Amino acid sequence: MKFTKKLIRRIIKETLDDKRFPLKLSTVNPEVAKVVTTSGHKDGDEADDAIGVTANKTFPVAKLKPSQTSMNISKAMGMAFAMLSQQQGGKGMNTGGDLGAFISKDGHIMDGHHRWVATAMVDPTKEIGGYLVDFPGSELIKLLNAITVGRLNQDPGSGKEASGGFEQFQPEPIAKQLQQMVTKGSKHMKPDVALKIIENWTGREGEEAVKAATAKFVENVSTLTFKTPPGAPERPDMPVIDPDRVKGATQIAAKALDSGEVDWKEPYAANRKDKMKVTEELIRKVVTESIKKTKGIREAFRMEADFKPGTMVNWNVLAKVVKTTSSGRQKVDYDRMNMTGAVQELIRAPGSSAVGGVAIILDPDGNSHEVEISELSHA
């Protein structure tokens, strides 16, 4: 593999020191977190730690993915009915809208999962949005965990409890929960109101409406990709950027990332030396440390059997596009695009590591891409 300056900086840019930024919230050291989330401007370069954060970015809900497996079908179903109710002129909530949460550059939402899945159940073409962060999902979790403790002063053991998983959004559980809504209702909706809502939605009556609504929910949910970032921890070990706990929590975290206050890139403030010289030796050191060096550099960079050099592969990216609205106004949006190319080289973590490997891929136009192995499929 040719280590170009662009490639080296790209890999360094998205690699975190696991000792400073643990993947699990419960293992974050409060004293370390307070230092690393406030010293980014003290390392001799106020701009090197800045990570682009763009507020109010929206995407079709089906183009986004979760960062956790914990979701409750009862809560999601309740939100879906509230959305349908408002669509029909009743009380409820907007379909889609701003999650008020962070979205990684590879399309993983960091919070707002119930609203995400409920929106998809009702209308997968609707858009949801939040703060788009120019950082991959697995590494963003680490940064937000450090901010949870170091900037928002939350205890490492204060993560939210898990409540079910992806298996709840299969046809049988969806049908069961819908049947409960129209026979027993919920805390916020009587059963006769729920039945009337799905009758209006499907154009059917009684049991036929229930069957039709179940089919629509199942079909709509099937458009989602239930895939978390590589190595993502369980819900109790995920970040808690919660305005209900800390006023302005989301804005505090966004500012810390965007302004470079989080000292995640070498040289660190605590041991700053002369300006770093980017070399092949340095990048190998950075990557090796990030995958918890246990078997040596040869082991860390071994080949992934399923994606040997020369293998043609597919992967998806979020690409910025300019769209023209019905009124003639242009707006910037993001579309998920399918990419194709040939594997050139692999950088893979040891099997026991939670960090995913990276494939260097050359597309038909001769452009080089670095893609997590977990995001690849055979062409």
Over residues 53-75, mean pLDDT: 93
> What DSSP string describes 99-141?
EEEEEETTSBBSS-HHHHHHHHHH-TTSEEEEEEESS-HHHHH
Nearest to 91 by CA among 108, 78, 73, 100: 78
> What DSSP string describes 256-274?
HHHTT-S--SSSPGGG--S
Q: What percent of the chain has pLDDT over 70?
A: 79
C-alpha distances (whole Å) from 56 to each of 53, 100, 248, 272, 335 are: 10, 8, 16, 36, 16
pLDDT class of 69 with cuts at 50, 70, 90: confident
**For position 330, what pLDDT does the model report?**
66
**For position 63, what pLDDT does the model report?**
92
**Rounded CA gap, 117 and 267, in Å?**
41
pLDDT class of 45 with cuts at 50, 70, 90: confident
Q: pLDDT by residue (tens digit) across 266-322?
A: 888 865 443 445 555 655 655 555 554 444 334 334 444 677 888 898 888 766 667
**For position 352, what pLDDT does the model report?**
40
Residue 97 pLDDT more than 80? yes
Residue 267: asked if its preceding bond is cis (omega within 30°), the reply is yes
pLDDT class of 213 with cuts at 50, 70, 90: very high
First to last CA, the chain: 22
State the Cα torsion 241-242-245-249 to the nearest 10°: 60
Rg (CA), the chain: 23
CB 142 within 8 A of CB 21: yes
Identify which has the larger pLDDT, 322 or 214: 214
**For position 285, what pLDDT does the model report?**
58
Identify which has the larger pLDDT, 261 or 308: 261
Q: Both tokens of residue 96? A: 């889609």
Q: Where are the domains of the chain?
A: 5-17+274-378, 53-237
Over residues 189-202, mean pLDDT: 96
| Edge-first strand listing for the sheet containing 53-60 | 53-60, 127-133, 97-104
C-alpha distances (whole Å) from 61 to each of 5, 27, 289, 298, 317 are: 36, 32, 36, 41, 15
**For position 84, what pLDDT does the model report?**
97
Q: At what angle are helices 5-13 and 280-290 packed, to 10 degrees?
A: 20
pTM of the shown model: 0.71
**For position 295, what pLDDT does the model report?**
42
Over residues 133-138, mean pLDDT: 94
CB 374 within 8 A of CB 228: no
C-alpha distances (whole Å) from 360 to each of 118, 321, 324, 372 are: 36, 25, 34, 9
pLDDT class of 140 with cuts at 50, 70, 90: very high
